[in-house]
Structure 1
Amino acid sequence: MTTPSTDRGRSSRARIVDAACDLFYERGVAATGLNDVVSASGTGKGQLYHYFQDKPDLVLAVVHAQVERTMQPQQSPLDQMRHADDLRAWANQAVLAHSGGQPARCPLGALVSEVADHHDGLRHALDEGFTRWRSVLTIGLTRLQQRGIARTDREADDLAEVLLCAYEGGVLMSEVRGHTAPLRLALDAALEVVLEGSGVPG
């Protein structure tokens, strides 16, 4: 992977990655060709191959970009988590993010089934992305435990994993069903688990 040394180069590379993020999310990795990415990004094939060795190299860049896309809108709410209602607001936001008529799909989860079994580097990058996401949840949940809001008989990291698994499973079932009710049900159940025994009403 070539790192651009000029603003113009960085802009071209960013357009390629952004276009690939959108296309891989909408169509899937296998169904998207490099020519599709070139056309959607308004760049040339020579530019694409200047910055990326091959398609797996581009997919790796997309994984890193999708981690940022996933984390940025969640970072602030999770950093500011102080009350049970803050945790519920995070869950509500997660549901609303998939309520606009588009397929319910997690930007990271959508890549797992297509790339994780075929490339160790991609699987590692996805795992790092989910680990970062879980770590941010863990920090917020630790704060809730310290305030007596989240249950303390389980590690905050375990509770974060419960929420993350509920989200990913709920998104998958919502994609199949064509509506967000499964995601809402999964997150509500996970919230009950996280708050169980804390004395905070469900």
Structure 2
Amino acid sequence: MRKELTAKGKATRRRIVEGAAEVLREQGVGTVTLDDVMARAGVSKSQVFHYFPDGKDELLLAVARFEAEQVLVDQQPYLGCLDSWENWERWRDVVVARYEILGDTCPLGSLFLQVGRSTPGARAIVAELMGRWQESLAAGIRALRAAGSPSAEFDVDARAAALLAAIQGGVSILLSTGSSAHLRAALDQGIADLRRDLTPAGAGAPR
């Protein structure tokens, strides 16, 4: 059991993780050394191994958790308040913009290639990220469902899962081709389908 870190210790550990994340984004995973991280974070090798006794692999997993959190943070505030079609459209724009800025690189994807997506730690990070992302989408759908009149067969969780899968497919194509067209189409179609099924017959779409 590792001791609970002090406030100063937590701040130092976070500085190391954030410094490593910055270097990894700039240089790519394959070429980064602990010396690069130490220089960016302003820490010594003993400090790095104090907070990450297992070395680079443990640090990479910590950076992967940080990057996974950033995926959700970068979608705020709209991901947390998908209670109007206007906010859904704004969320869509934020998601597309994020991946267009990343271009054909993805820090999280690169990290998982390095540490091994099938390793227990990496799989847990992916599962947690997708679970939190899907639940946020489901919460937004439920917020709009209250104003609509969907059929009894309307499955909120399935719709959220399908939308998330569509996003991931669009992102995969973007990473392969550099084009966000498929991501845009996936989001536009997913939101249009929700709007159609959640808007009461004969009524205007809720704002």
User: Smaller-chain TM-score range?
Assistant: 0.7 to 0.9
Deviations 1:165-188 (A, max 9, x none): 222222222222223223212211
Higher mean C-alpha deviation, range 148-157 or range 74-83? 148-157
Partner of 1:139: 139
> 2:63 aligns to what?
62
| Structure 1 CA distance for aligned equivalents of residues 149 and 40 of structure 2 | 47
* Cα deviation 1:108-156 (Å, max 9, x = unaligned): 4454444343521221122112211111111111111222187863422
Change (3 A) 1:6 1:77: closer
Q: What is the 5 A alignment of 1:51-90?
A: 51-53=51-53, 54-90=55-91
Highest Rg: 1 or 2? 2
CA shift at 1:52, angstroms?
A: 0.3
User: Hey, what's the Cα distance between the residues in 2 that align with 1:23 and 1:78?
Assistant: 28
Structure 1 residue 194: deviation in Å? 3.0
Aligned to 1:171: 171
Work out the CA distance in 2 between the residues paired with 1:42 and 1:66: 20
Name the counterpart of 1:5. Answer: 6
Contact 1:21 1:62 in 2 (8 A): yes
Q: Distance in 2 between matches of 1:148 and 1:66?
A: 36
1:39-54 correspondence runs (5 A): 39-53=39-53, 54=55
Q: Tell me which residue corresponds to 1:22.
A: 22
Unaligned ranges ≥5, structure 1: none
Unaligned runs of 5+ in 2: none
The aligned length equals: 199
For residue 77 of structure 2, give the secondary structure of its aligned residue in structure 1: helix
TM-score scaled by structure 2?
0.79
Quick check: 54-63 or 23-32, which moved more? 23-32
What is the distance in 2 between the residues matched to 1:109 and 1:76? 24
The 3 A distance-change label for structure 1 pair 50 and 132 is same
2:194 and 2:116 mapped to 1: Cα distance?
Answer: 29
Q: Is the 8 A contact 1:83 1:144 kept in 2?
A: yes
Range with greater deviation from structure 2 (102-111 or 141-150)? 102-111
C-alpha change, 1:30 and 1:155, in structure 2 (3 Å) is farther
Question: TM-score, normalised on structure 1?
Answer: 0.81
Instruction: Provide the C-alpha distance between the structure 2 equivalents of 1:125 and 1:37, rounded to a whole number of angstroms.
Output: 22
**CA positional deviation for 1:80:** 2.2
Q: Partner of 2:179: helix, strand, or coil?
A: coil
Structure 1 residue aligned with 2:35: 35
Q: Which amino acid aligns with 1:60?
A: L
Q: Which moved more, 1:192-201 or 1:56-65?
A: 192-201
Q: Which amino acid aligns with 2:191?
A: L
SS in 1 for 2:144: helix
